[in-house]
Structure 1
Amino acid sequence: MSTAAATKPSAAPKGGGRRKLTLPWIMLIVAAGLVLFSLVRVVSGANDLTSVGQVSGALQLAVPIGLAGLGGLWAERAGVVNIGLEGMMVLGTWFGAWAGYQWGPWTGVLFGLVGGAIGGLLHAIITVTFNVNHIVSGVAINILAVGFTQYLSNFTFAEAPGGSSKQSPRIDEITKITIPGLSDWLQDLQAKHWFLISDLAGILGGLVTNLSLLTVVAILLIPATWWILWRTAFGLRLRSCGENPVAAESLGVNVYKYKYIAVTVSGALAGLGGAFLAIVATGIYQEGQTGGRGYIGLAAMIFGNWMPGGMALGAGLFGFTDSLKLRGGAENVHALLLLVALLLVIAALWQLYKKKYVVAVVSAAFSAVFFLWYALTDEVPSQFVDAAPYVTTLLVLALSAQRLRMPKADGLPYRKGQGK
């Protein structure tokens, strides 16, 4: 059998498999979701759900998650599972703060990238060169990063004015931009609480009000990643290492080189997410401030089916649920009970259309439970508000598991020349 024949993917059977969502369908789904969200806001009276401040806060919380998820995407598209994203974010927060308070925030951003890249390079050496299990290596890096940064803080931040062994001195802010006129107009329009129009105004207003330049850079990295990985020869070779490294090697691709590049870039992006947390989100390094965002970023990447756009939607969802507890948390989360109930009704109707009666009945039953919960209560317990982002992570992954397709060689060991 020829190499071309061996590497050519088998054709999907006609009428089988899942159809790929086109842009018009995606836009239609997003529009329908916005209408449903606006309906919930009007019925529940939780007008802060789509306020400018809520959207702005959600974006700020989504960026580090999205950068971690983008880092995971680079690594796993090359066939390396990167559980160590959390540790690489920790390195990014520390190095970003250490350089940021001394030489300015943009220098801190650069050092955050370098700190995360060092963690990524270490993960690449362990997994690619020495073929250690990827999960074991990632967990080890997470533990090592926490201990390493705690050790460094004892003789750096502890001796700096305004610092301690658990936090850095204050870091100067990165410039924030607000589009004058447009921002005020959108805020006024959102304050009228009109159906759908005010929700659109709140979302757009959150994107043009107090927007950090680093947030703009992070957003631009999403289409940049898509273009590099799906529209360049470099990206094709890198993705081939995650699908079939033996076939890629037979066609002249240096698999080790591309895996090293991908995992190092992965660490750098996670480190950038950590630097964002320290420099933009809080303006200070604090021990443990990543709060599991590396893991949630990995979940966002899986939810997005290893694609940049889907990953961005997942990060936005998790960022939004995390932001609810900052502004009217109990009221907003209580309103989401109604949203979940309506979504379950839609799911039940869809399953009836597909003649999956058991699933439809289960969805309808859970919908009734959420309707009753919403109707019989005025707010939810504070513990549930704090747990909302993590509950969302579990639910989204559980509901999306059936449509996921990871790179075929993701996490599998590879040795140069093993196909000969």
Structure 2
Amino acid sequence: MSQEMTAAAPSAPPPPRTAARTWWRVAALAAAAFVALAGVRFITGQQMLTSAGTIQATLAFAVPIGLAGLGGLWAERAGIINIGLEGMMVLGTWTAAYAAYTTGSPWAGLVAGVLGGMVGGLVHALATVTFGVDHIVSGVAINILAVGAMRYLSLLFFDGIPGAGASQSPPLPEFPRVGLPFVADLLAPVRDSGWFLVSDLASLITGATTGMSVVTLLAVLLVPATFWVLWRTPFGLRLRSCGENPDAAESLGVPVYTYKYVAVLLSGGFAGLGGVFLAMVASSIYQEGQTGGRGYIGLAAMIFGNWRPGGLAMGAGLFGFTDALQVRGGGAAVHSLLLLIGVALLAAAGWLLYRRSVRKAVVVAAVAVALLAWYAFTDTLPGQLVTYSPHIATLLVLALASQRLRAPAAVGRQWRKGSS
């Protein structure tokens, strides 16, 4: 009898995924990717894949994408789709440039850029939260209006200044840089040795600890700070409840409108800080069209990261790395990635075969063989393909990650107070 009762007893539910498990998983994936890159570097001889310069360029390209992604994460965790991140970054670039030029202080530019992005966030919050405008329509309108408004303000304030005009600002003051200057000299023999993984780790440490802008350091620290606030504080729990079930949150006394406003304002501030980076760290000058679609790529990084800071950081790093590689290494360096992708797809095909998904395994294996053949019979990639490799990576990542995504349940919903 006891045996029958034991057999009939329901199995225990799987243990919930803890934050520690999530962060260990992100760290393990990042470490595996780096080891794979080191292996490809060792086999192909393409030193650009893991050089210290590539690491620094990856950070420079990843920071504005990551900041835009953080802005999207804060807004969408509260239930608001923020397509207007691109326009908020544009506002951040111009206001940062104007404040830094007129005051001569880069810190004034940083504050003004964040506030400029928050102005865009305020407009988006007014439209979507207060007046119930469709989130996509409001975001697109902000993107369009920001470009035109900054063009007008450039004509008004920059036209006639030497070195400036309707499409750019004068040169801007720079932020101080931080780092450990002795590390580069200390690890130089190890970097130059070419040893598998050891040399690559030395390059990684050198690139991450030498000549880093304080804005880059701030952006890196904002990732764990966002996780702590949203997943470890009562404020973050209430904010996320507004994106999951605003009716239930309201019934428990949460001021849903207030939390949505705060989230969208902070979203605009993150995007504005990304604009500060583009205008004052990446180029030391404001230029029209400077954002180059990074707001949209930031949204793609956020989706790739499944609306979580750790995954978002990995997505931003991936897009930043492909961008850095095509700028620094050209067709030969990007061509070596075909080997990495082909081997990874072969491993994925083997896993699918183990899971008895024969049809999918055959398709994935065929793509892997095609990529490996492409690598074996060519030495480089066409320039046009290399230029668009970051955008191709964006599309591939979204396509491969689409099966495991889980957006906040009420994101994009037109919610009205008292509807519960």
Using structure 1 for the length normalisation, give the TM-score: 0.94
Q: Is the 8 A contact 2:55 2:208 kept in 1?
A: yes
Q: Is the 8 A contact 2:26 2:311 kept in 1?
A: no
Q: Is the 8 A contact 2:128 2:138 kept in 1?
A: yes
1:184 deviates by 2.1
Task: Measure, in 1, the Cα distance between the counterparts of 2:192 and 2:385.
Answer: 28
Task: Measure, in 1, the Cα distance between the counterparts of 2:238 and 2:388.
Answer: 41
Matched, 1:292 2:299: no
**1:183-198 aligned within 5 A:** 183-198=184-199
1:82 maps to 82
Superposed CA deviations along residues 193-231 of structure 1, whole A, max 9, x for unmatched, are 210111111111111011001111111111111111111
1:26 deviates by 3.9
1:18 deviates by 9.3
1:68 deviates by 0.3
Task: Measure, in 2, the Cα distance between the counterparts of 1:87 and 1:279.
Answer: 17
Task: Measure, in 1, the Cα distance between the counterparts of 2:231 and 2:22.
Answer: 16
Superposed CA deviations along residues 7-39 of structure 1, whole A, max 9, x for unmatched, are xxxxx9946999995444444333332222111
- In structure 1, stretches of 5+ residues that fail to align are 1-11
- In structure 2, stretches of 5+ residues that fail to align are 1-10
Distance 1:13 1:132, change over 3 A: farther
Distance 1:366 1:209, change over 3 A: same
Report the residue type matching 2:346 in the other structure.
V
Superposed CA deviations along residues 214-271 of structure 1, whole A, max 9, x for unmatched, are 1111111111111111111111111000000000000001100000000000001000
Residue correspondences, number: 408
Report the residue type matching 2:53 in the other structure.
G
SS at 1:222's partner residue?
Answer: helix
1:266 maps to 267
Q: Is the 8 A contact 2:331 2:381 kept in 1?
A: yes
**1:116-127 aligned within 5 A:** 116-127=117-128
Q: Is the 8 A contact 1:52 1:187 kept in 2?
A: no
SS at 1:109's partner residue?
Answer: helix
Q: Please give the root-mean-square deviation of Cα atoms over the aligned residues, in Å.
A: 1.7
2:380 maps to 379
Moved more, 159-168 or 300-309: 159-168
Task: Measure, in 2, the Cα distance between the counterparts of 1:165 and 1:27.
Answer: 45
2:7 maps to none
**1:20-419 aligned within 5 A:** 22-103=22-103, 104-419=105-420
1:69 deviates by 0.2
Moved more, 19-28 or 55-64: 19-28
Q: Is the 8 A contact 1:38 1:199 kept in 2?
A: yes
Distance 1:24 1:252, change over 3 A: closer
1:8 maps to none
Q: Is the 8 A contact 1:170 1:283 kept in 2?
A: yes
Q: Is the 8 A contact 2:23 2:310 kept in 1?
A: no
Task: Measure, in 1, the Cα distance between the counterparts of 2:399 and 2:332.
Answer: 26
Report the residue type matching 2:219 in the other structure.
A
Report the residue type matching 1:81 in the other structure.
I
Moved more, 17-26 or 314-323: 17-26
Task: Measure, in 1, the Cα distance between the counterparts of 2:15 and 2:235.
Answer: 31
Q: Is the 8 A contact 2:30 2:314 kept in 1?
A: no
Q: Is the 8 A contact 2:26 2:310 kept in 1?
A: no
1:331 deviates by 1.2
Superposed CA deviations along residues 361-405 of structure 1, whole A, max 9, x for unmatched, are 111100111111101111001111110000000000100111110
2:8 maps to none
1:178 deviates by 2.8
Using structure 2 for the length normalisation, give the TM-score: 0.94
The share of aligned pairs that are identical, in percent, is: 57
Task: Measure, in 1, the Cα distance between the counterparts of 2:249 and 2:172.
Answer: 46
2:6 maps to none
Report the residue type matching 2:402 in the other structure.
A
1:355 deviates by 0.9
Q: Is the 8 A contact 2:302 2:312 kept in 1?
A: yes
Q: Is the 8 A contact 2:48 2:329 kept in 1?
A: yes
